[in-house]
């Protein structure tokens, strides 16, 4: 829990600035450019509950982007910048 609190504090401090940052947590390196990282944390009881909450959260808070190239050109998609899901009873 202490590592989670330190991560959240670190992300809040880093999100104040609007230029390039590198976030490192649990061996995962996330390269940020042009935008601040918006983390989404969801705590769920099991995997189906996590999926349901994630789909609802991405519809409300997801970032939309338009695909420019490939066979899906012209379509829009939703995405999270950074997502963490905690399952209480796997």
- 24-42: per-residue pLDDT in tens? 444 444 444 445 778 889 9
Number of domains composing the chain: 2
Q: What distance in Å separates the CA atoms of residue 6 and residue 11, rounded to the nearest whole number?
A: 9
Assess whether 7 and 44 both reside in one domain: no
60 and 17 within one domain: no
CB-CB contact of 56 with 40 (8 Å): no
Q: What is the pTM of this model?
A: 0.55
What range defines the domain where residue 46 resides? 38-90
Q: Which residues of the chain carry a pLDDT beneath 70?
A: 1-35
pLDDT (0 to 100) of residue 37: 76
Token readout for 10 is: 């670190």
């Amino acid at each position: 829990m202490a590592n989670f609190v330190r991560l959240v504090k670190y992300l809040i401090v880093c999100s104040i600035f609007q230029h390039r940052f590198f976030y490192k947590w649990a061996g995962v390196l996330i390269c940020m450019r042009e935008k601040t990282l918006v983390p989404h944390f969801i705590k769920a009881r099991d995997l189906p509950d996590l999926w349901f909450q994630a789909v609802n959260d991405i519809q409300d808070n997801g970032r939309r982007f338009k695909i420019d190239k490939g066979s899906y050109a012209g379509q829009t998609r939703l995405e999270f910048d950074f997502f963490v899901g905690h399952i209480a009873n796997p």
